[in-house]
Amino acid sequence: MPLDAIYLSALTGELREKIQGGRIDKVQQPERDMLIISLRSNGENLRLLLTAGTGRARVQLTESSFENPAEPPMFCMLMRKHLVGARIVSLYQPDWERMLIIELESRDEMGFASHKKLVVEMIGRSSNLILVDGDGRIIDCMRRMDFAGDALRRMLPGMIYRLPPKQAKAVLMDTDSRQRRDMIAAADRSQCMDKWLLGSFSGLSPLVCRELSFRCSGSFDTLPELLDAFVDTVHAGELRPYIMYEDEKPIDFSFMGIGQYGETVNCREEKSFSGLLDSFYSQRDRAEQQRRRSHQLYKTVRTLRDRMQRKLAGQSEELRRTEERDEVRKKAELVTANIYRIKRGDRLLRCQDYYDPEGGDIEIELDPLKTPQQNAAVLFKEYNKLKAARSHLTDLIAQGESQLDYLNSVLEMLSLAESEKDISDIRRELLETGYIRQPSGSKPNRLKAQAPLRFVTDDGYEVLAGRSNLQNDQLTTKLSRRTDYWFHTQKVHGSHVILRCNDTEPTPLAISQAAVIAAYYSQGREGGKIPVDYTMVRFVRKPSGAMPGKVIYTDYRTIAVQADEILIKRLAK
């Protein structure tokens, strides 16, 4: 859900206690619409996240890590110039709007005191991040709005900054009990209560309107008392951060307990408003960022995969036609045996089929422009061609199926990629295997390949997992010892996982947790229990000429486990 005004008011109070008076040390811009401000406040090092992304605009303290671009954007450079070294004087939310204004105090190039405001507007598609000087003029903004927009809300450097126009609706928190009762008395009671609340008051989200309607069973008669209590609670600051889970996936959040979903949704209270946002958005944003980053590469590999599927379908059809070769050979031999009966210009040969146990007749079409000997030669040539094609097509289909399996494994690795470096490793793999080419004029990616994912089991065993097919090969054939244990999901694509045993017999706990890691980094991550095969590395080998990541193994055992993200995060090192 978008951050609503009441949640923002609670968040503002929480942030005020944490960062007011703090000094800014660093500014980073990991994404186009996101800014990370590192600061020192009350003896703590904190990181303030500000984002103006549509549908995810917010301000919060964060403990999540973000990858920064190799070259900082111009907006980031400007923010560094004006913000680094500044002190946060105050934070406030104007008029119950979905806005936060951070007042800053610093020194300019001449050493004089300089006052600025960092304005975060969290208003749907109009969300923006604006830096304003002491005279109220815009220094710059994350999203510039030129003269095609609202004349009063042009966002360009040098222009006067103006607050967004107020809505025509009444602000619920600024109304008194009598005003609310008068509005309720005049309400159209044929309308759903949540729709009426949303259309009558600003500052309320659809979720909160539905919850208020749920709590008074949709009755307008009990709504005045409920709104009185609700407004008193908000003004008193008696708000708590709640996050809603469905099947252990976060789906929504609020400043109050939500009961409208019944038992289908689990509503849990979090420790802080800022921590709730960090938890709620980190997983969703990470998945969205990876989707955007890997989209082009994923599209390329998917096109290659689809092309290979069509090619295999065509080859399979050709292979099916080669099943007619014996019939062609039979006709060629019958023409040869009856060549004395054929005259040049005949279009049809009717003769006894001595291959038929019942001795029936058969009709064979002839080319009237060819001699009897030439007709026989053509049939023998077609037979030899079909015979050779069968052998050739069988090899081509085997190679194609291997390549198709490899491309499917690359698509799975892309879906499991957790960072830009993971995607770069997969791109490098595709370049090395010849599936994609380096664009002309571009420099090769010189980033050093990453180390495998590393984990430590609860009883101290080291576990490594490959990030790409090339790394899977290296991990299994080069980095592991013959007495280590190798894990892989059964019959589905996934990472090669190595349990390092140091010539000892691993514990059942280590085997179980290594299997969970293999299940998590596999195509079966989202399913229930999945079988994982494991064996000693000495029983795993890579066939000559096999595609990256392809191995065969023997002497294995199987364990059924379920992917567990909480365990993975705890064991990761």
Instruction: Give the pLDDT confidence of 226-277 residue by residue, as tens digits.
Output: 999 999 999 999 999 999 988 777 889 999 999 999 888 989 999 999 999 9
Last residue of a domain, one of 126, 153, 180: 153
How would you label 43-62 residue by residue, b for 16+ Cβ within 10 Å and e otherwise? eeebbbbbbbbeebbbbbbb
Confidence class for position 36, pLDDT limits 50, 70, 90: very high
pLDDT tens track for 401-445: 888 988 988 888 887 777 777 787 888 888 888 888 876 655 555
pLDDT tens track for 337-355: 898 888 888 999 889 888 8
On whether both 466 and 358 belong to a single domain, the answer is no
On whether both 31 and 12 belong to a single domain, the answer is yes
On whether both 525 and 441 belong to a single domain, the answer is no
On whether both 422 and 457 belong to a single domain, the answer is no
On whether both 378 and 472 belong to a single domain, the answer is no
On whether both 435 and 343 belong to a single domain, the answer is yes
- Per the structure, the count of domains in the chain is 4
Tokens found for residue 291: 């989707």
Average pLDDT for the chain = 89
Confidence class for position 325, pLDDT limits 50, 70, 90: confident
pLDDT of 76 above 90: yes
% of the chain residues with pLDDT over 90: 53
Last residue of a domain, one of 122, 153, 184: 153
**Would you state the pLDDT for residue 25?**
95
Last residue of a domain, one of 433, 450, 467: 450
pLDDT of 287 above 70: no
On whether both 310 and 434 belong to a single domain, the answer is yes
On whether both 90 and 15 belong to a single domain, the answer is yes
On whether both 239 and 358 belong to a single domain, the answer is no
On whether both 318 and 428 belong to a single domain, the answer is yes
Count of CB atoms situated within 10 Å of the CB of 475: 24
Query: Measured between alpha carbons, how far is 225 from 546 in angstroms, rounded to an integer?
Result: 73
Tell me the one-letter amino acid at 98: R
> What is the chain's alpha carbon radius of gyration, rounded to the nearest angstrom?
35
Tokens found for residue 447: 């980033």
Please report whether residue 223 resides in a domain. yes
On whether both 371 and 299 belong to a single domain, the answer is yes
Query: Counting beta carbons within 10 angstroms of the beta carbon of residue 111, is it exposed (0 to 12), middle (13 to 18) or buried (19 or more)?
Result: exposed
On whether both 87 and 110 belong to a single domain, the answer is yes
Give the domain range for residue 95: 5-153
Query: Counting beta carbons within 10 angstroms of the beta carbon of residue 332, is it exposed (0 to 12), middle (13 to 18) or buried (19 or more)?
Result: buried
Please report whether residue 123 resides in a domain. yes
**Would you state the pLDDT for residue 273?**
94
Structure pTM?
A: 0.59
568 membership: H or E segment, kind and range: helix 565-571
Confidence class for position 286, pLDDT limits 50, 70, 90: low
Confidence class for position 2, pLDDT limits 50, 70, 90: low
Do 498 and 479 touch, CB atoms closer than 8 A? yes
Please report whether residue 382 resides in a domain. yes
**Would you state the pLDDT for residue 428?**
82
**Would you state the pLDDT for residue 562?**
92
Please report whether residue 365 resides in a domain. yes
Please report whether residue 161 resides in a domain. no
Please report whether residue 359 resides in a domain. yes
